[in-house]
Structure 1
Amino acid sequence: MAEPVHLVVDRTACAGHGLCYATAPDLLEADDFGNPVVDAGPIPESQLEFAQRAATACPERALTFTSALPPSEEKTS
């Protein structure tokens, strides 16, 4: 099984176009101001493709992916 992945929104870069939550409605929704809200949990494997599409659809590239592990606990090879 792959390491858990989270979707992160850069609120300073986001312009609230809504393309991300229109592309991946099961992962993102709009808040009262039209900004995307992401579930804090890891992205289910079945939704990874939709998450990638949402990140690609963002004109500001405000969506990124991160490991579930904090930087201090990341594996080093």
Structure 2
Amino acid sequence: MLSKEKIARINELAKRGKTTGLTTKEAEEQKKLRAEYVQTFRASFKQQLHSVKVVDEKGQDVTPQKLKDAKKGNGGIQH
């Protein structure tokens, strides 16, 4: 998870970008922070997917093979 300070800075730069505009240095900082945020989000989402088990109405495990393989570390879901 990204720190509260970094998220606050992302929001500050976004607000300033909409109102007064950003300097080149600020735009580069915003780009790096956003990339870090997206990377963190994807890793978190991937971890959440790996904890999913799909069960049908009969109680049988119908988790897609691709997800099962990814849980085992045999490829599967990529980002």
TM over 0.5: no
Higher helix share: 2
TM-score by length of 1: 0.29
Q: Greater strand percent: which structure? A: 1
Larger Rg: 2
Does 1 or 2 have the higher relative contact order (CA < 8 Å, sep 6+)? 1
